[in-house]
A and B are shown apart, each in its own frame.
Chain A
């Protein structure tokens, strides 16, 4: 185990539903991340939080809404998603951001999301 947990592991939702993904890290890290991984595509960075402050929003549609109440917890709120949003959503944490040796990513197992 990497010390990063995600729930749920699988989620099926309709386009009109509202759901949330949860991530928790037990590593004492300061930075947390959301990634999207679609089949045969590179990992896409979505959001970065450092010390609970959002430092990166990689042009993500507003139907994805992140929340970081503290350095250990990260949520991704989903509403009115599209079928093309179906993917593996990965949470990660690192000691810090942008510093050699401290931004090594520790990933959770991911949430497999299917939008019908």
Chain B
């Protein structure tokens, strides 16, 4: 079945370092991937969208890559801050047109 998978283990990093989160997709080729941020008890908030013909997308301290060979998207936060601590979700449409989300990776940035 078509899946989006993220590392379910929490990622703990030191303030100022670069956080890198991974999103892998299997059994299909999405035309794009979206990344969202979710804080506890709140709805996800859209951050970035990257299309399959875009290798990289940037927004302030955020950078997303899309590697169709590896079937993977990487989400980077440079110069991370404690305020970046949250769960980050990737999402895309599968071939049936249904929007599917990964389970999210929890990021914790320690001061």
Contacts and interface: CB of A to CB of B under 8 A. Distances in A.
A90 B4 CA distance: 20
A107 to B, nearest CB: 3
- Which residue of B44, B46, B97 has the most chain A CB atoms within 10 A of its CB atom? B44
Interface residues of B, number: 25
Contacts of A61: none
A104 B49 contact: yes
* Consensus secondary structure, chain B interface: strand
Interface residues of A, number: 26
A43 interface: yes
Contacts of A66: none
A104 B44 CA distance: 11
* Consensus secondary structure, chain A interface: loop
Interface of B: 4, 8, 31-32, 34, 36, 41-46, 49, 51, 89, 91, 93, 97-104
Interface of A: 2, 4, 33, 40-43, 45, 56, 58, 88, 90, 92, 97-98, 100-101, 103-110, 112
